[in-house]
Each structure stands twice: as C-alpha cells, then as structure tokens.
Amino acid sequence: MTALTQEESLLQKLEEKRILVTGGAGFIGSHAVKQLSGTGALVTVLDNFSSGKPSYVPAVHNVKIVEGDICDRKMVEQVVRDQEIVIHLAALPFIPDSYYFPDEFFRVNTMGTLNMLQASIRSETVMRFIQVSSSEVYGTAKYVPMDENHPTFPHSTYAVSKLAADRLAFTIHKEHNFPVVIIRPFNCYGPNITQPYIVPEITVQLLKKDSLVLGKMESSRDFTYVEDTARGIIIASVSDGLIGETINLGSGKDIKIKDLAYFIASIMGKRIEITLDGSRLRPYDVERLVCDWSKAKKLLGWQPKVSLKDGFRRTINWLIANTEIVQKWVPYKEKYQKKV
C-alpha cells in the first residue's frame, strides 16, 4: 500500500468538516470549493455574485450556496454560525476600480473582513480563519524574491484596503487568541477568471487580431496557476502550527508584461505587433513582484505544480470556450469615464 503524501494526509482531515468559503463563486474561490468538495468537506459558499457566477460552483451534494453580502452583519452572523473553518476570499479585486470607488473598496475589503472576523469569534465553533490577502500589499519589490518579512508599501487603494484587512485579522488574533492565518497569493491566472486582468486582456485582444495595445510593458509579475493557489489555501486550513502566520503563495519567477504578451502569442500561434497606449498606464504602478514561497514549502509542504506553458494553454482554451463571458467585461475607462 502506497504511503500518503503530506498533502494527502492533510486533505483527509477535511472530510465532514464544515467550511465556509466567502467569494466561493469567484475566481480563486470556485477552484477552492471544487477541491474542497472532493475531500468530502461540507462546504457553504457565501457570494453576492457581483463578479462570481453560480455556474462556477460545483453542483454536488456537499456544497450549498448562500447568496449574500459580507457587509450584511446579521446575515453573516447566521451563515458563520456552526462553521468550523472560514476561508475568506470575498473582496472587490480589480485595482483600476478602486481609483474611482475607494470608499466601496474599504467598505467591502476592510469592514466586510471585520464583520467576518467578529461573527467568527462569536460563533465559538470556528477553529481557523483563513484571511486571503494579496501580494499587492508589498508594493514594488525592495529585494527579490520577496518573503513574508518584505516591507508593506501598497501602491493602490485596493492594496491599502487589503493590508488594512490583514492588520485587522492579525491584531484580532492577538487580542482574542483567535486562530487566524494570512495567505498572500501572488498574481493568479486560469479558468473562471472574473476580471479583465492582464492575462485575459492580452488573450482576448489576440483572439480578435494580430496586434496588441498595452500600457506599461517593463513591469513584471509572478504568475501562479489558480488551482495551485487554491490548493495552498486549502492545505493552510488544516496544517498544524500556522496560527498567526503570514504565508506567500507564488512561483518564484517573474515575467515582464512584454515577454508575457509574446509568450501568450506564441502559444496561440500568432506573430504580433505591440502598440503602447499611455492612457492605460496606472497612476502608481507596482514595478516588480517575485514570490519567495519557501515558507509555504516548509510549513505546508506546498509547491506550484502547473507550468506556465500548460497553465496558459488551459487558460486560453477556457477563454475561447467562454467568449460570451469575456465579451461582457467593460474596460474600466469606459465604465467609469462619466464618473471621473
């Protein structure tokens, strides 16, 4: 009989566990729910479907959906009651949106997190709270790879709202001896994506023609396939010795946006021309993000499994098969130009 791996042994602990996933119909959340459902966990998805979709949630007997908002305190209290693990992914995630609605980003990302934390404390059944953060809280790399001790210097209202939520989670852990773990994923890509991030933006443009219009091309990011990120979050929900820890999830390699564009084009079999558009530049962009995931490997036994080439092939195939979803995305300039 083959011995179980560390990961397999940990996942066995999830069977029959009552787990709440906020934002479980969203990008990372839907993949986490799919993986959790396969462990035999009893999963509750809380989502307001502002960007996530019910169709992203697996229709299986051990997963139920509750439509609701994390800013609704009374509803949150009811949903959290009797849960054993909370994986908190619900957030407003698209950085350009935060330029125009900073108050909404703080209401959802910061105060919504506080609602979740307080309800989880009062439930008296929650044994672990996974606060899913973002590598954006670090700002541009001061050194690489970036470990969990890297200074935090957010470059967007979105990132500030996420860092504020992190600090809330950590201080509440200290003040109430509440079991919090903070996970900081670096840039994710893959199926079920819900926002016009750079990977779908490049892919969708190339589906229409053999040219690209981009903003800054020299900035670089660390890309991780969404299934790998979701798996790390799940393992963190049952690993021992993590309470109070912050853990990065990423690949340890960065790629410049220009090189990413040519890489995606090569997978799609296209020769391309790139035009720069200054109006696409972010007002205060992060120049470089590179993850040090050695802590995740040490504490979780986690490592990324899906290669960039394989991951991008899967992502491109999904985008091609779901063009009706992608076509409904409205560029943020057009969406908010009347509000500026």
pLDDT tens sequence across 43-94: 999 999 999 999 999 999 999 999 999 999 999 999 999 999 999 999 999 9
Counting runs of H as helices and runs of E as strands, what totals does the chain give?
14, 13
Q: Is 162 helix (H, G, I), strand (E, B) or coil?
A: helix
What's the pLDDT band for 338 if we cut at 50, 70, 90?
Answer: very low
Higher-confidence residue of 24 and 328: namely 24
Task: Establish how many alpha carbons lie within 13 A of residue 291's alpha carbon, considering only the half-sphere containing its beta carbon.
Answer: 28
What's the pLDDT band for 5 if we cut at 50, 70, 90?
Answer: confident
Per-residue pLDDT tens digits for 27-54: 999 999 999 999 999 999 999 999 999 9
What's the pLDDT band for 3 if we cut at 50, 70, 90?
Answer: low
pLDDT the model gives residue 44: 98
DSSP codes of every residue in 23-41: TTTSHHHHHHHHHHHTTT-
Map out the domains of the chain as residue ranges. Answer: 6-190+225-252+286-306
What's the pLDDT band for 279 if we cut at 50, 70, 90?
Answer: confident
pLDDT over threshold 90, residue 255: yes
157-176 and 112-123 are packed helices; what angle lies between their axes, rounded to 10 degrees?
Answer: 20
pLDDT over threshold 60, residue 116: yes
Q: Is 300 helix (H, G, I), strand (E, B) or coil?
A: helix
DSSP codes of every residue in 231-276: HHHHHHTT-SS-TT-EEEE--S--EEHHHHHHHHHHHTT---EEEE
pLDDT the model gives residue 326: 72
pLDDT over threshold 90, residue 278: no
* pLDDT over 70, % of the chain: 95
Residue 178 tokens read as 């509440």
Identity at 9, one-letter amino acid code:
S
pLDDT over threshold 50, residue 324: yes
pLDDT the model gives residue 330: 58
How far is 302 from 225, CA to CA, in rounded Å?
13
Q: What is the mean pLDDT of residues 282-309?
A: 96
Residue 60 tokens read as 């299986």
Residue 72 tokens read as 């609704």
What's the pLDDT band for 329 if we cut at 50, 70, 90?
Answer: low
* pLDDT over 90, % of the chain: 85
Sign of CA dihedral 31, 34, 38, 43: positive
Whether 85 and 73 have beta carbons less than 8 Å apart is answered as: no
What's the pLDDT band for 8 if we cut at 50, 70, 90?
Answer: confident
Helices (H), 14-94: 27-37, 73-80
Total number of residues shown for the chain:
340
What's the pLDDT band for 332 if we cut at 50, 70, 90?
Answer: very low
Q: Is 124 helix (H, G, I), strand (E, B) or coil?
A: coil
Per-residue pLDDT tens digits for 192-250: 999 989 999 999 899 988 999 999 899 999 999 999 999 999 999 999 999 999 999 99
What's the pLDDT band for 2 if we cut at 50, 70, 90?
Answer: low
Helices (H), the chain: 6-12, 27-37, 73-80, 95-100, 102-105, 112-123, 157-176, 198-208, 226-236, 257-267, 294-300, 308-321, 323-326, 332-336
What's the pLDDT band for 339 if we cut at 50, 70, 90?
Answer: very low
Identity at 22, one-letter amino acid code:
T
How far is 278 from 18, CA to CA, in rounded Å?
49
Whether 236 and 131 have beta carbons less than 8 Å apart is answered as: no
Whether 224 and 249 have beta carbons less than 8 Å apart is answered as: yes
pLDDT the model gives residue 6: 79
CATH (residue range 6-190+225-252+286-306)? 3.40.50.720
Residue 139 tokens read as 């700002």
